[in-house]
Every structure is written in C-alpha cells, then in structure tokens.
Amino acid sequence: MINSSSDNVKKLNSINRRMFITGSLKFFIMIGLVSRLFFLQVKENKKYLTLSDKNRIREWKLAPVRGEFYDYFGNTIAGNFEAYQLHIIPEQVEDFRYVIYRLKDLLELSNKEFNKVLKKKNEIKPWETLIVSDNLSWTKFSKINNHLYDLNGVKPVISISRNYPFKENFTHVLGYVSQANEKDIENTESIKKNFVPGLKVGKVGLEKSYEDILIGTNDIERYEVNAYGRRISQLEFQKGEKGKSIRLTIDTKVQKLAGDLLKDKAGSICVMDIYTGAIIAMQSSPSFDPNLFVFGISNDDWQLIRNNPLKPLVNKTLQGNYSPGSTIKPIVALSALENKIINTNFTVKCTGKTEMYGQTYHCWKKKGHGFVSLRNAMKQSCDTYFYEVARKLGVDRLSETAKKFGLGDKVFGKLFGIEKSGLIPNTQWKKNALGKGWLLGETIITGIGQGYIQTTPIQLCLMTAQIANGGYKIYPKIIANDDNKNEPDDKFKALFKNSNHIKIVQDAMFGSTNEVMGTSYRSRIENKKYQFAGKTGTSQVKKITERDRELDLKTFEIPYEERDHALYVAFGPYKSPRYALSIIVEHGGNGSTTAAPMAKKLFKLIIDRHLLRQSINSKKYLEI
C-alpha cells in the first residue's frame, strides 16, 4: 500500500516536471516569436519595406540618346532614329522553350535566324539579356506587345540607333557605331556607366574619338509589377541628357563631289582652307555604307568589303603612305632658294638622262627639255633639273624644309588613332633605321619624290596650303565647334627666311597649270574667279626597267597593280588664294591626265560656295 502511494507521488511529480518544462518551452518560444515579430516589424521595418519594394518596383535603364554630327551648314550627317528591339532574360522565363518557339512564329523567323538566337542564348549567362531582334518593324513590334500576356519574361524595347543619311560619303571621317563589346565596356568609363543591352558605340573615326561627349546619359524608368513580373504602372521617369552634337568644317556638297570623282577608283581627295586650316572635304575611296554595321554586318556584306582589292577599309587620306613624286618639287625648290643653293637664274641642261657614278637617272621626257631655269623646270616638271638641285642641296636640308611644311608628322595628332606619320628621310634616319650610310643616288631620287620618302594625302594638302598662304604655319581642324579654342602659340609662324622665295614657288606652280607646256595646262580655268595653280606628280610603284622604257606602254596596257600613282596638289583662286587641295589616284597613271582634271571640277564648286561659307562663318553662333 505504501509502495503504491509512493509510486503515485513519483508519477505526479514527473508529470508536473514535464508540464513545467513544456510550459517553459512554450513560453520561451512565444517570447522568441514575439521578439522576432517585433524585430522584423519595428526594428527592421525599413529594410524589409525596401526589399518588398524591390520585388514590386523595377528600374529600367534606357539607351542614351547619342549626339549627332552636322556638316558646316547644319545638315545632319550622322543622326538617330527609334529602333524597336526585343529582349529576354533567360532566368526570368519559366518555360524558355515555349516562349522562344512562340516568338519564332510571331516574328516569322527563318531557321537561320532562329538558330542564331539559340546560339547567342548558349553563349551568355542566364541573367544576361538576350537580344532576339534589335531592329523590328513597327508591325512586328506591335504584334509582340499584343501577345505579351502569353510571353512571360519578354521585353519589347524602344531604343535609339544611328543613321548615316549620306551613306559612304562620310565613312572614313565619321567611322561608324556598332554594339558595345566587353573591350569597349572595360576600356571606356562612359560606356561602362551608361551601358544597356544593345548599346551602340563608336568603333572607328570621330564616332570613337568623341565617344565620351557623344554617348549621353541613360533615361531611367521606374515602374510597378505584379507577382508575375508584369508591368502594372509607371511610377517615375528620370530623363537623361542627350550627348553633345558636333559640327564639322566639311561641306557635304564638296565631299560628295570628291566621292563622285573617285568612284570606282582607289585614292583620296583633301580640300583645306589655307588660313583657318578648316577641312572642307576629306574623301577616301572606295568607301562603304556604315549603316551596314549598326545592327551587325552580315557575313556576305563583310566578305564583300574585306575582299575588295581596292581596300575600302583603309582610310587612304590618313593611312596611305605614298611617294609624293613631283608634288615634292615645290618644297625642293623652296629649300634650295632658302639655303641659297640656287637662284631663279640657275639653269640645267636636260638631255633626257643624267649619268652619275655609273648610274643613269632618267627624265620623264626621253629627248629632254634642253636648258631650263627654275620656273620652266617646275612648269614642265623636269626631273633632270631637280636631280641637280637635290644633289647640290643635300637630303638633310631638304628634310628640314619638308618637315617645316608638315611632311613626316601626323596632321591631326591623336585625333584619329589610325593616322600615319609618313617618312621624310635624312642621313641620320638611315643610319639609325638601317644601319647604313646615306648614298648620293638616294639624295637625287628624293629630289623627285621617290626612294624612301613617304607622305600621306592630308600632309600634301597641308604643305600646299602653307605655300599658298605665303608660308605661314596653320593647324588643320575638322571640328567647327572648337573655333578659336586652344590655338597653339606658333600658329601663323613664318616658315620661310625670305617671303620672296614663297612667291617664286607660287608663280612657278601658276605656270605649271596656266601656261603652254605646263604639265596640267589642259586642266586650266581661264576665268580668274576660278583660276588655280598646281603641281602634278607621278609616283612609281615599281622600278622601271630598260625593257619597260623600250616598250613605252600606254597606261591601260600596263597591269593595274604596276601602274604609277597619279597625284596633284593645287591652290586657288590664284589672285587671292583661299583653298588648297591634294588628289591621289592609286595606279592612275600620271597626275596630268588623271588627277589634275578633277581639280578643275572641284575648284569651280569650292569657289562658288565660298560666299555661302563666309556668310555662315560671319555668324558668331550657329543654331543647330
């Protein structure tokens, strides 16, 4: 009986102990829950409200509006238009296979286009944006918007894309834009900051050089979504800034004429104001349509451009290194006058060839020019005369004068990353570069623009402009917005010792174009309003053998790649010079028959548009 009672007490105590422990646990759990709820709802209220808003509110950065390019007269040469795009973020799509096949039907994608989209999807991360199409028609864009209820995760986007209304006419000046890649984003802070899927950025030319000011800043749109991520309403719209627009010094009409004159040819035409350095035209041929690159060039189009033997991808104005041929003769003459090696009465007898140390140096005229002075030698482009002048002058003094007038150095500095410096050789250069001594024969052929000497078309234009303006230093420019900003201290510095020497060279160039026996006489304009002075040039691309001289083939009978380059430099109007130009036609034969006639057409248009240009220039501000 006693044992039974004791057992009951123990059981009761055990039950009470368990109830106490259980009750205590419940109490502490309740306290914990209440504390946690208090912490979440009171202490962490702002944090979770923010997280909730992030699920409810989405932010969307839109492509910035790119600044435009205008020509000197305010015509748009690189503008913008609205492009309709379709984006998908794969990780936000519940059934990607269903959505992508649905889009294929709605957009009527070909198997090739569809497979391209699938390939792109496999190349990106799940959270990265897949651009299904970056240039939809309005009809297809509307169709997608009407079916969004069935396309979870699909985003129709209105973006801004580039348009080049003059197509190939400005390609080698402006360059082109295309979709930003990883390298663009890493190397350019403004691209990284404003990046959105499908962003177009400058790849070459001025589009790339001025990327930081052209790109603009993003519009930012904030909107509310439902539990399925679909947009309910727009909450806020933050307007970004459009990129800065840039006005160039180029005249579109002159630029187009230059392109027409070089049609189906490889070459360059440059036109420059001899006082301001403003570039009126800067054409390289052949060119290509930059619009092809905006949405990604097709393989067929790319192969056509890439495999064109005339090399449309090369900017011949800035990258083309050419022997200047006889266009260097004004500098040879000026250098000899400046260094008192010759005077205007110095004469040489040209018999058609010169023998020196067992080497024969030919003049272009087989039977020779007879006795010629400086003026006649320039007019008739007598090689024998300039052989002798170069021999007496020496390459080092010639090199010094040539460099003063802009040869052998980049004309635009760092503006165009592709520009070549050319080469103006001297004795020290050969010793450093080739480890050999300079030879007299090399001096002789340098005097007619052959041998090691290399120049770009823009350098020849600058050289001519500085001869035309009386021998004063100018700095070429292509951006009109930068008028009178940061001008170098040595602008208009005299490049001569005696101004009369410049006048002698100018007069000799006048004779070359406007007098009988002048090499470009057939391209003259007698009307003094348009009259110009110039110098022809023929640049050999291969050594002329004795057999070649005996055959004496016409240009069209010679294989294209073996034909000489045709060059011409000129300035006008002669009585009151204002513009200079350089022309080169690769494998064009000779300057007098191929290049000089182009100058005749150019000067008529350039001078006719001078007053219109001046009327624009006289305005302090131009609204564009």
Domain CATH number, residue 546: 3.40.710.10
**Assigned domain for 54 exists:** no
**Assigned domain for 312 exists:** no
**pLDDT tens-digit map of 308-342:** 999 999 999 999 999 999 999 999 999 999 999 99
The C-alpha atoms of residue 460 and residue 35 are separated, in whole angstroms, by 84
**Assigned domain for 301 exists:** no
Q: Is the peptide bond before 312 cis (omega within 30 degrees of 0)?
A: no
Angle at which helix 329-338 crosses helix 395-404, to 10 degrees, equals 110
Q: What's the pLDDT score for residue 620? A: 46
Query: To the nearest whole number, what is the mean pLDDT of the chain?
Result: 87
Q: What's the pLDDT score for residue 214? A: 95
Residues 212 and 260 in one domain: no
pLDDT at residue 471 above 90?
yes
The C-alpha atoms of residue 129 and residue 230 are separated, in whole angstroms, by 17
Q: What's the pLDDT score for residue 94? A: 78
pLDDT over 70 for what percent of the chain?
A: 87
Residues 10 and 36 in one domain: yes
Residues 199 and 72 in one domain: yes
**Assigned domain for 471 exists:** yes
Any idea of the CA torsion for 245, 247, 250, 253, to the nearest 10 degrees? 70
Residues 203 and 185 in one domain: yes
Residues 406 and 446 in one domain: yes
568-591: string of b/e by CB count within 10 Å (b at 16+)? bbbbbbbeebbbbbbbbbbbbbbb
pLDDT at residue 6 above 70?
no
**pLDDT tens-digit map of 135-174:** 888 888 888 888 887 787 788 887 888 999 999 999 999 9
Q: What's the pLDDT score for residue 485? A: 58
pLDDT at residue 624 above 60?
no
Residues 358 and 496 in one domain: yes
Q: What's the pLDDT score for residue 103? A: 85
The CATH number of the domain where 232 resides is what?
Answer: 3.90.1310.10
Classify the phi-psi angles of 521: left when phi > 0, otherwise alpha if psi is within -120 to 50, otherwise beta: alpha
**Assigned domain for 622 exists:** no
- What are the φ/ψ torsions at residue 236 (nearest 5 degrees)? -155, 150
The C-alpha atoms of residue 410 and residue 398 are separated, in whole angstroms, by 19
pLDDT at residue 254 above 60?
yes
Number of domains, the chain: 3
Cα of first residue to Cα of last residue in the chain, in angstroms, is: 114
pLDDT band per the 50, 70, 90 thresholds, residue 51: very low
Any idea of the CA torsion for 334, 337, 343, 348, to the nearest 10 degrees? -60
**pLDDT tens-digit map of 348-402:** 999 999 988 888 999 999 899 999 999 999 999 999 999 999 999 999 999 999 9
The C-alpha atoms of residue 608 and residue 420 are separated, in whole angstroms, by 33
pLDDT band per the 50, 70, 90 thresholds, residue 230: low
Pairing of strands 370-372, 579-585: unpaired
Q: What's the pLDDT score for residue 371? A: 96
Q: What's the pLDDT score for residue 623? A: 46
pLDDT band per the 50, 70, 90 thresholds, residue 56: low
Q: What's the pLDDT score for residue 1? A: 52
Residues 268 and 157 in one domain: no
Residues 412 and 497 in one domain: yes
**Assigned domain for 609 exists:** yes
**Assigned domain for 178 exists:** yes
**pLDDT tens-digit map of 265-290:** 999 999 999 999 999 999 999 999 99
pLDDT at residue 182 above 90?
no
Residues 440 and 553 in one domain: yes
Residue finishing a domain among 193, 228, 247: 247
Of the two residues 108 and 470, the one the predictor is more confident about is 470
Pairing of strands 69-70, 246-247: parallel
Residues 239 and 333 in one domain: no
Least confident of 181-185, 396-400, 429-433, 596-600: 181-185
Q: Tell me the mean pLDDT in the region 388-417.
A: 96
Going by C-alpha positions, the residue among 367, 156, 332, 166 that lies closest to residue 250 is 166
Query: What is the SS3 assignment for 269?
Result: strand
Residues 175 and 227 in one domain: yes
Residues 393 and 457 in one domain: yes
Residue finishing a domain among 247, 276, 297: 247
**Assigned domain for 311 exists:** no
pLDDT at residue 557 above 80?
no
pLDDT at residue 71 above 90?
yes
The C-alpha atoms of residue 171 and residue 115 are separated, in whole angstroms, by 32
**Could you tell me the residue range of the domain that residue 38 belongs to?**
2-43
Any idea of the CA torsion for 139, 142, 146, 149, to the nearest 10 degrees? 120
CA 44 to chain centre: 55
